[in-house]
Amino acid sequence: MKMAVIYARVSSQQQREEHTIASQTAALVEFAKSHDLEVPKEWVFEDEGYSGATLERPGLERVRDLAAEGQVQVVLVYAPDRLSRKYAYQILLIEEFARQGVETIFVKAPQGTSPEDQLLVQFQGMIAEYERAQILERSRRVKRHRARSGEVSVLSGAPYGYRYIRKTDEVPASYVIIDAEARVVERVYEMYTVEALSMGEIARRLNAEGIPTRKQSARWERSVVWAMLRNPAYRGTACFGKTRAAGRIRVTRALRRRGGIVSKNSVGHERPHEEWIEIPVPALVSEQSFARAQELLHENKIRSRRRTITPSVAQGLVSCQKCGYAFSRTSTYTSARKLHYYKCIGSDRWRKLGGPVCDNRMVRQDLLDQIVWTEVLRLLEDPTLIQRELDRRLDAARASDPTQKREQSLQREFSRLGKGIERLLNAYQEELLSLEQLRERMPSLRQREQALRAELQAIADQATDRATFLRLAETLATFLGRLRSAADTLDVYERQRIVRLVVKDILIGDDTIVIRHCIPVGLTPQSDSGPPHPGRPQGTSGAQSYLLRSGSNFTTAQ
């Protein structure tokens, strides 16, 4: 008896309410019993509310893990579109399971392996992908038409100050003003446009007075006040289609720490205002007050003293070693000049209700940038470090026993498969096999042959990549020579680009600076054998220290 795993999926709330996933699971369990397949209860995986256009689904991830571990022989799915709505993803998953010796069976699909059956499955996958694209396009066009007709039901709920009233057979959906919240909106606009208070001060006053937000348990933040001041619904025209789905423009610090991979599109990209569709709603503030708020927001964006106009070398790379928060840039004036600092945002009192969560002090921007740039140049001055690392990776790849053994195993299996196909053809020529028997056996052999050829080609492509790395190592010394000669004349933008290629992140502690490189280098041996510095962690080398901050018990940082 073969071990099987069951996978079912629905994407919408309506499908969940109609219990369609339960019907899928019941049909799959009945199919497994009738075909002598054993399915443990813990191997029935259901993804409720997950789109078939993505592979990031918890149930599917567990099914793929079980297949990779070699614990199952069969994956049962109700229909190809339940596995994925994209044909390319269907093929990817089916081939992945096949490479691991796992058979994929669809209840609502042909069960044979003939070319005709496979063609029908392919058609089903392409039709499912077409249906999804058609549903999305129809939904988009219907929403735009309803928005142009003035229906607020196309908007995702109502903002602060309104209550959303669902549509009925007699009355369309609408916004109803909540008097208490409307007075708060009017006061926010008055504090910003008349009293000239900052968004941070507005949020602090609202929190101090105990005014609840829409979520009741949340506190007022500057971002909430900012969004309230920009929302055109408060002047009487809610807008549809303000944003568009597009790729993330820049990789944030959190993404960079996870490898810098953007897994999906974001919807935070604003469309031009002329593309917005206006829908009339009750106004909470006057046109003049809203226009004044937009004018002040624009001026604040241009003339804010905290605005980062001039870049810095380590900008976006500095984090706190104690609390994990990022370091933001700030500045202060002395009697002689303006000084810039990197400051841990965890030390800001206004960010948390209980006060600051970190006591890390500020770091001088110019001194830290100079240290980081000097460290990068020191790393690049010795090209043997980088070339040694490239050579080590190349040698490890060439001498990788699993890769070599896998390639040899594939070559032997490919040779045996070719001989098997040849014997079948000889048997057919000698009339030992009928044409029907040959058609029955040959497709599976051809499929296996194609899979082996693709895997061997992948190994060959890896060898080509290694050769490319080798050519890169040969030209590395020339590039580094040009970089050293122009290091003193590079502007801040060029230095920043080079630093971001070499440095992963910079961690600031009480008296230490940890620069984490993308290329590992050897540890510098400790030069002194005396007792450690009282403020320095054990194992830290006694290299040169730098004065980075004043007014602290720790006067130096390494």
Q: Judge residue 387's burial from the number of C-beta atoms within 10 Å of its C-beta, 0-12 exposed, 13-18 middle, 19 or more buried.
A: middle
Percent pLDDT > 90 in the chain is: 11
Count how many residues are written for the chain: 558
DSSP 3-state of 160? coil
Segment 137-149 mean pLDDT? 81
CA distances from 454 to 37, 176, 235, 403, 409 (A): 31, 62, 61, 15, 14
Segment 472-483 mean pLDDT? 59
Note the pLDDT of residue 161: 92
Contact criterion met (CB below 8 Å) for 2 and 102? no
pTM to 2 decimals?
Answer: 0.47
Q: Is residue 152 included in any domain, yes or no?
A: no
Q: Is residue 377 included in any domain, yes or no?
A: yes
Report the candidate in 139, 167, 138 with the shortest Cα–Cα distance to residue 153. 167
CA distances from 64 to 22, 31, 82, 264 (A): 22, 21, 15, 20
Contact criterion met (CB below 8 Å) for 146 and 140? no
Q: Over 436-502, what HEC string results?
A: HHHHHHHHHHHHHHHHHHHHHHHHHHHHHHHHHHHHHHHHHHHHHHHHHHHHHHCCHHHHHHHHHHH
Considering the domain architecture, whether residues 192 and 141 belong to the same structural domain is answered as no
Question: What is the number of structural domains in the chain?
Answer: 3
52's CB contacts (< 8 A; 6+ apart) are 9, 11, 81, 82, 83, 84, 85, 86, 128, 132
Give the amino acid at 362.
M
pLDDT grade for 304, boundaries at 50, 70 and 90: low
Q: What is the DSSP string of 395-408?
A: HHHHT-HHHHHHHH
Considering the domain architecture, whether residues 492 and 547 belong to the same structural domain is answered as yes
Residue where one domain finishes, among candidates 145, 174, 202? 145
Considering the domain architecture, whether residues 351 and 481 belong to the same structural domain is answered as yes
CA distances from 421 to 94, 396, 428, 442, 443 (A): 24, 37, 11, 7, 10
Considering the domain architecture, whether residues 123 and 191 belong to the same structural domain is answered as no
Considering the domain architecture, whether residues 479 and 527 belong to the same structural domain is answered as yes
Considering the domain architecture, whether residues 169 and 135 belong to the same structural domain is answered as no
pLDDT mean across residues, the chain: 76
Q: Is residue 379 included in any domain, yes or no?
A: yes
Residue with tokens 């208490």: 180
pLDDT grade for 526, boundaries at 50, 70 and 90: very low
pLDDT grade for 531, boundaries at 50, 70 and 90: very low
Alpha-carbon radius of gyration of the chain: 32
- CATH number of the domain within which 196 lies: 3.90.1750.20
What is the distance between the alpha carbons of residues 11 and 13, in angstroms, rounded to a whole number?
7
376's CB contacts (< 8 A; 6+ apart) are 498, 499, 502, 503
Which residue has better confidence, 148 or 521? 148
Pairing between β-strand 266-270 and β-strand 243-246 as defined by DSSP bridges? antiparallel
Contact criterion met (CB below 8 Å) for 191 and 225? no
| pLDDT surpassing 70 at residue 370 | yes
Considering the domain architecture, whether residues 353 and 372 belong to the same structural domain is answered as yes
Q: Is residue 266 included in any domain, yes or no?
A: no
Q: Which helix (H) or strand (E) holds 279?
A: strand 277-280
| pLDDT surpassing 90 at residue 185 | yes
Segment 482-495 mean pLDDT? 74
Q: Is residue 181 included in any domain, yes or no?
A: yes
Write out the two tokens for 66. Answer: 């079980």
Q: Is residue 345 included in any domain, yes or no?
A: yes
- CATH number of the domain within which 86 lies: 3.40.50.1390
55's CB contacts (< 8 A; 6+ apart) are 84, 89, 92, 93
Considering the domain architecture, whether residues 139 and 168 belong to the same structural domain is answered as no
Give the amino acid at 288.
Q
Q: Is residue 463 included in any domain, yes or no?
A: yes
N-terminal to C-terminal alpha carbon distance within the chain: 64
Q: What is the DSSP string of 7-76?
A: EEEE-SHHHHHTTHHHHHHHHHHHHHHHTTEE--GGGEEEEET--TT-S--HHHHHHHHHHHHT--SEEE
Considering the domain architecture, whether residues 420 and 525 belong to the same structural domain is answered as yes
Contact criterion met (CB below 8 Å) for 11 and 50? yes
b/e 269-278 (16+ beta carbons within 10 angstroms → b): eeeeeeebbe
Q: Is residue 261 included in any domain, yes or no?
A: no
pLDDT grade for 545, boundaries at 50, 70 and 90: very low
CA distances from 388 to 14, 137, 471, 502 (A): 59, 53, 14, 16
Write out the two tokens for 359. Answer: 């006591």
Report the candidate in 377, 255, 314 with the shortest Cα–Cα distance to residue 507. 314
Note the pLDDT of residue 398: 56
Pick the range with the lowest mean pLDDT from 16-30, 246-260, 472-486.
246-260
Query: What is the distance of C-alpha 250 from the center of its chain?
Result: 11
DSSP 3-state of 245? strand
What is the distance between the alpha carbons of residues 456 and 447, in angstroms, rounded to a whole number?
14
Considering the domain architecture, whether residues 72 and 216 belong to the same structural domain is answered as no
Considering the domain architecture, whether residues 25 and 128 belong to the same structural domain is answered as yes
Pick the range with the lowest mean pLDDT from 4-8, 467-471, 479-483.
467-471
b/e 221-256 (16+ beta carbons within 10 angstroms → b): bbebbbebbebbbbbbbbbbebeeeeeeeebeeeeb
265's CB contacts (< 8 A; 6+ apart) are 245, 246, 247, 248
Contact criterion met (CB below 8 Å) for 238 and 232? yes
| pLDDT surpassing 60 at residue 20 | yes
pLDDT grade for 93, boundaries at 50, 70 and 90: confident
Considering the domain architecture, whether residues 298 and 169 belong to the same structural domain is answered as yes
Range of the domain at 140: 2-145
Residue where one domain finishes, among candidates 255, 284, 303? 303
Write out the two tokens for 376. Answer: 């990068």
What is the distance between the alpha carbons of residues 133 and 139, in angstroms, rounded to a whole number?
10
Residue where one domain finishes, among candidates 145, 172, 201? 145
